[in-house]
Amino acid sequence: MSDIFTYISVNFFTLGLLGLAVVLGLILVFSLEKSQYLIYVLLIWFPLENLILRYIPIEHYAAVKYFPEVLIYTALLISWYRYARRRERFFLRLPFGKWFLAFLAAALISLALNFYNPLIWFLGLRQILRFALIFIIVLFEDYSDDTIK
């Protein structure tokens, strides 16, 4: 499929344990009502990502590069679940909802017309989506004004 799978460990048990540790850690962070710490870490990580990835050994490169994405997607699911439970609504009215959907529609049309490999398309799209997803997490969590400042 792609060269990305060459870097993923063949030890699926270890990957499963690592994934379980990430999910349990995020559940702990969200249950302690300190989910903003995850946002702080990601806001520090994003500008320094390229610098840090230059000095990461190649055998750990893929794990270090894509680990923040796993954090973002898992945090999004957990914060969405908490929002749905708290507000008894499944969807949040986003201030940029129409534009976000238009962007995703244009990206899907581009995927279909250019015959990209869907995995490569998603990996390229994630660079832009992660900032929008951080914004959505902040909206779902409904932080106080002091936390936002």
Q: pLDDT tens across 69-124, in order?
A: 888 888 888 888 888 888 777 777 777 778 888 888 998 998 888 888 888 888 78
The H or E element that residue 40 is part of is: helix 36-54
Share of the chain above pLDDT 90, in %: 2
pTM, full prediction: 0.70
| Residue 20 CA: distances (Å) to CA of 15, 52, 82 | 9, 25, 19
